[in-house]
Amino acid sequence: MKTVLILCGGRSEEHEISLISAKGILDALDRKVYTPLLIGISKKGIWHLEQENSFYIGEFRADKIKLNEKTPTVTLAPFSNEKKQGTLLCEEKGYNFDIVFPILHGRFGEDGTLQGMLDMIGVPYVGSNCGSSWLCMDKVLTKILCLREGIPTAKFTWVESVEGLTKVQSELSQLKYPLFVKPPRQGSSVGVSKVNSPKELKTAVETALKYDNKCLIEEGIKGREIECAVLGRHGQAKVATPGEIIPSKKIGWYSFEAKYLLAEGAETKVPTDLDSQTTEAIKAFALKAFDCLECSGMARVDLFLEETTNQLYLNEINTIPGFTPISMYPKMWQASGLSYSELISELLRLA
């Protein structure tokens, strides 16, 4: 039996989504092979030793759920033992673990900081390494690197302050409205605004800068929003049957509310109804982006299929995608013949 350290919660604005993902993993973990060790990280960054049946409080939805913080705190030992296991220290007792499944979305979990710490300790973990995680987390760097490799993205610019808008007027004049204004190192559409005219731009930049110290401004792509689940090691990965996000006409785009709070915020379609040639082109596109950023383990590659030209544009790469049983990443693999439980086991094997 191997002990899997499951890390959930965290300091990012996606804290609650992480708790829901962790619950799904716990329910589907193969207990004949793996024993879970569950750690909930509070929004203040404190690590708590949790019990499966009580690690969250409240309703199981993003705006109602809370981490149970009335549990013992733990410290991660800054070394591994002779068996290459990591160790958690709690009330003078040590808890060893063999593998880490970091289901921490956003900052301090998906951005390479945690991965770098685990590399120093010397224990295996699910997902991409420190450098790849950092690059994928930053949508500006992702775009720059992918464009150099011939992977198209929407036209964009970025600023580090509202005052910086005056310095990028030339770039802004090349962008067609509507624009999407984003904190580039956030996920789940946190801090994202759809801007339909220049007079709305300043407020949108101010909103994005509440969540990051720079702001991405990109041209909206009119077309279909396609998602791809990639699984495997760098250079040897495979892509599942693609899925599609269809936002409700009332909202018009895939906002945080559409993703997590509104019952009819968006429709997800797995598999898509695309022809085989387009599907294969999408899968090849996703794999190229995955390899360009040197991802490993898993990633969800999001892209746009432009409605008039069928041109593909990269949107973003998520190295720790949502992992509830109804999240797009596991649903796409289920449509490809790999069950939720089998997917978790494969990710742990790859780690």
Is residue 300 among the annotated active site residues? yes
With beta carbons less than 8 A apart as the criterion, state whether 6 and 25 touch: yes
Structure confidence at residue 168 (pLDDT): 93
Q: Which of 128, 133, 318, 327 is catalytic?
A: 318
Tokens of 217: 């401004």
Is residue 129 among the annotated active site residues? no
Structure confidence at residue 264 (pLDDT): 61
Structure confidence at residue 54 (pLDDT): 92
Q: CATH assignment of 2-125, given 3.40.80.10, 3.40.50.920, 3.30.470.10, 3.40.50.20?
A: 3.40.50.20
DSSP 112-134: SHHHHHHHHHT--BSS--HHHHH
State whether residue 48 is helix, strand or coil.
strand
Q: Which of 111, 300, 315, 329 is catalytic?
A: 300
Q: Which of 34, 56, 125, 260 is catalytic?
A: 260
- Tell me the whole-structure pTM to 2 decimals: 0.91
Tokens of 342: 């089998």
Structure confidence at residue 126 (pLDDT): 97
Question: How far apart (Å, rounded) are the C-alpha atoms in residues 102 and 115?
Answer: 9
Q: Which of 9, 11, 12, 14 is catalytic?
A: 14
Question: How far apart (Å, rounded) are the C-alpha atoms in residues 225 and 251?
Answer: 15
Domain ranges (residues) in the chain: 2-125, 134-152+221-350, 156-219
Beta-carbon contacts of 2 under 8 Å, excluding residues fewer than 6 positions away, are 33, 34, 35, 98, 99, 348
Question: How far apart (Å, rounded) are the C-alpha atoms in residues 337 and 32?
Answer: 22
Q: Which of 24, 127, 220, 322 is catalytic?
A: 322
Domain 156-219 in the same topology as domain 2-125: no
User: CA torsion sign, 91 to 12 to 103 to 65?
Assistant: positive
Q: What is the mean pLDDT of each run of 10 residues along the chain (351 residues)?
A: 96 90 94 97 96 89 89 92 89 93 92 95 95 96 97 96 92 94 83 92 94 95 96 94 83 52 69 94 97 97 96 96 89 96 97 94
Structure confidence at residue 247 (pLDDT): 76
State whether residue 278 is helix, strand or coil.
helix
Q: Which fold has domain 156-219?
A: Dna Ligase; domain 1 (3.30.1490)
Structure confidence at residue 235 (pLDDT): 87
Structure confidence at residue 80 (pLDDT): 82
With beta carbons less than 8 A apart as the criterion, state whether 335 and 24 touch: no
CB-based burial label for 337 (10 Å; 0-12, 13-18, 19+): exposed
With beta carbons less than 8 A apart as the criterion, state whether 261 and 278 touch: no
Query: Domain spanning 134-152+221-350: which superfamily?
Result: ATP-grasp fold, B domain (3.30.470.20)
Is residue 310 among the annotated active site residues? no
Question: How far apart (Å, rounded) are the C-alpha atoms in residues 215 and 234?
Answer: 30
CA proximity to 218, closest of 136, 299, 157, 274: 157
Long-range contacts of 277-281 (CB under 8 A, 24+ apart): 278/305, 278/310, 279/241, 279/242, 281/312
Is residue 34 among the annotated active site residues? no
Q: Which of 316, 327, 329, 340 is catalytic?
A: 316
Structure confidence at residue 172 (pLDDT): 93
Structure confidence at residue 73 (pLDDT): 97
Is residue 260 among the annotated active site residues? yes
Is residue 211 among the annotated active site residues? no
Structure confidence at residue 251 (pLDDT): 58
